[in-house]
Amino acid sequence: MHMRIVLSGLLLMFLFAGCHHPGDRLKVDVSAVRVPEVTIHRYDLDLFRANISNLKPALEALRPQYRFFLDTNLNDTVKLMEMKSYLENERNQLLYREVEKKFTDLGTLQSGLTQAFRHCKYYEPDFRVPRVYSYISGCDYMNSIQVADSVMLIALDCFLGKDNTFYVQDALPLYQVVRMDPDYIVPEAMSALCAAAYPSPAPGNTLLEQMVEAGKRVWFTDAMLPDTPGCLKMGYTPGQFEWASKNEQQVWAAIIENNMLYSTSGQVLRTFMADGPFTAEFSKESPPRLGEYIGWRIVSKYMDDDPGISLRELMEERDAQKILTQSRYKPSK
pLDDT by residue for the chain (333 residues), tens only, comes to 333 333 333 334 444 445 655 567 899 999 999 999 999 999 999 999 999 999 999 999 999 999 999 998 899 999 999 999 999 999 999 999 999 999 999 999 999 999 999 999 999 999 999 999 999 999 999 999 999 889 999 999 999 998 899 999 999 998 999 999 999 999 999 999 999 999 877 778 999 999 999 999 999 999 999 999 999 999 999 999 999 999 999 999 999 999 999 999 999 999 999 999 999 889 999 999 999 999 999 999 999 999 999 999 999 999 999 999 999 999 987
Distance between CA atoms of residues 291 and 214, nearest Å: 8
* pLDDT number for residue 136: 97
* Residues paired with residue 322 on neighbouring β-strands, in sequence order: none
Distance between CA atoms of residues 319 and 78, nearest Å: 51
* pLDDT number for residue 22: 53
Q: What is the CA radius of gyration of the chain?
A: 21
pLDDT in tens, 141-176: 999 999 988 999 999 999 999 889 999 999 999 899
Distance between CA atoms of residues 98 and 48, nearest Å: 12
> Nearest to residue 115, comparing CAs of 233, 195, 28, 224?
224
* pLDDT number for residue 218: 98
> Nearest to residue 36, comparing CAs of 138, 97, 127, 108?
127
Distance between CA atoms of residues 228 and 22, nearest Å: 9
Contact 232, 33 (CB under 8 A): no
Total-model pTM: 0.90
Distance between CA atoms of residues 122 and 34, nearest Å: 9
